[in-house]
Amino acid sequence: MTKKISYSEAVREIEDILSKIENEELDVDELSDKVKRVSLLIRICKDKLFKTEEEVEKILNELDE
């Protein structure tokens, strides 16, 4: 079972991986795995942002009623 990751945890992990890539701290074998991980984390962040936007819109619409 995978642990749910928060938006801020995902962003921190993305920043950490990008820093390692920029500083050439990853070897070629790790690079592919880390790029895949960043891709997954970005999808998680986008999903959380989309869901939050929907929730906020719903709340605002309820206030207008």
Number of domains in the chain: 1
Number of H helices, E strands in the chain: 2, 0
Residue 40 within a domain: yes
Residue 1 within a domain: no
Q: Give yes or no for residue 2 having a pLDDT over 70.
A: no
Residue 32 within a domain: yes
CA distances from 6 to 3, 14, 21, 65 (A): 10, 12, 23, 32
Q: Measured between alpha carbons, how far is 40 from 18 in angstroms, rounded to an integer?
A: 14
Q: Measured between alpha carbons, how far is 21 from 30 in angstroms, rounded to an integer?
A: 10
Residue 2 within a domain: no
Q: Measured between alpha carbons, how far is 52 from 10 in angstroms, rounded to an integer?
A: 16
Q: What is the residue range of 60's domain?
A: 7-64
Residue 25 within a domain: yes
Q: How confident is the model at residue 64 (pLDDT cuts 50, 70, 90)?
A: confident
Dump pLDDT digits (tens) for 12-58.
999 999 999 999 999 888 999 999 999 999 999 999 999 999 999 99
Please report the pLDDT score of residue 1 as a whole number.
44
Residue 41 within a domain: yes
